Structure 1
């Protein structure tokens, strides 16, 4: 199977090392060029098949690995890659055939740090790569409505309702804010935000922030409404 690698490993360069598992040669060549001409990013290598890609990642340990969803129909590859190291972030490239609530929910459950449309513009893809590396999550805004549409099989309300403040914190997490930024918006301490986040994860039975956001959209705790600007939360 064709495999392309570039040395040295990403961690030795101080940049974000990016790898790709994708069956389309043009996509592999295009991403190589895009990444290598972007400051702060470095292309580590690529593979056209799951098995070869897994071995590549085991050897080179990229920071972000992009995976074609067509090569991972049941989320097994994403799960295995995520389990290799806490430092490796999986970014899934979603095509139209898999742009469904069920597939996206399964991808999140498998451990992906982010999902983006395969047809996204280069600038969007670069933002996604940087976001999953620095923040540990990315959800393509165009895919959020899909996750927010519940289905009978996956719809499960939280065991306990979120408080008003917890809901505000969860909404800010979904907007991409980290703890310090959330604390600044809500006029509270970072430790208070951490306490709210722990409570949110427990109530939603989620393993991390990205999983909590996915569950919240699927269950209706969070909804997508771009028509009404969100007001700034006030002090307690």
Structure 2
């Protein structure tokens, strides 16, 4: 998952030429990534750190029993202890600089798939003893349904409209909203949407789930 089509196409071409790997697809949109992950069930997911600055997407992609291993392509501004630690805690299992040589990226994919974890030597010191989470995500990770509810709220829907769109009861929606507010530590629905955009959990101009 990368915002630049040229980078995605280049990486796809290299992976397709690698005998031990099979390329399933790519996108630059958060919501499409979630849907592709559920439909294609890949072994490894590559996620640009720009699209997941706080690890929320990685936690979502690896939650709910998903077997996928997330490898973060770390941009230079994110080569910090804060980012590395939060990403590992959220469920990222492999990390490699986005600017690394293609052979190093392929190595990171292979090692993560074979061993379950991998930290590029240039990033390992930033982890400071933190290891990739054994389970995907933390206790504050939104579930897939909560994520859907949050997106519909961001689209301006009230609880009844959300319930109709998801074919559930209003009480169920209210429960999801309460969980969203608790997990995001938000005061209300508007605050939750604002925090989600700031964290990169939601983004404008993407395909809506549903």
TM-score interval for Structure 1 and Structure 2 normalised by the shorter chain = 0.5 to 0.7
Q: CA RMSD in A?
A: 2.1
Residue 185 of structure 2 corresponds to none
Equivalent residues in 2 for 1:136-175, closer than 5 Å: 136-148=116-128
- Confirm or deny that 1:61 pairs with 2:41: yes
For 2:59, which of 46, 70, 79 is the aligned residue? Answer: 79
The structure, 1 or 2, with the larger RCO (C-alpha pairs under 8 Å, 6+ apart) is: 2
Gaps of 5+ in 2: 136-210
- Confirm or deny that 1:208 pairs with 2:188: no
Retained in 2: the 8 A contact 1:92–1:114?
A: yes
Normalising by the residue count of structure 2, what TM-score does the alignment of the two structures yield? 0.60
Q: Residues of 2 paired with 1:30 and 1:88: CA distance? A: 22
Change (3 A) 1:112 1:207: closer
Q: Which is richer in helix? A: 2
Q: Which is richer in strand? A: 1
Looking at CA atoms only, which structure, 1 or 2, has the larger radius of gyration? Answer: 1
Deviation at 1:86, TM superposition (A): 4.6
- Confirm or deny that 1:95 pairs with 2:95: no
Q: Residues of 1 paired with 2:12 and 2:82: CA distance? A: 31
- Confirm or deny that 1:35 pairs with 2:15: yes
Gaps of 5+ in 1: 1-20, 155-173, 175-205, 210-236
Residue 133 of structure 1 corresponds to 113
* 1:18-66 deviations in Å (ceiling 9; x for gaps): xxx1101111001110100001101000001111111111110111000
Deviation at 1:87, TM superposition (A): 2.1
Q: Paired residues, what number? A: 135
Q: Residues of 2 paired with 1:115 and 1:55: CA distance? A: 23
Q: Residues of 2 paired with 1:131 and 1:45: CA distance? A: 20
Residue 94 of structure 2 corresponds to 114
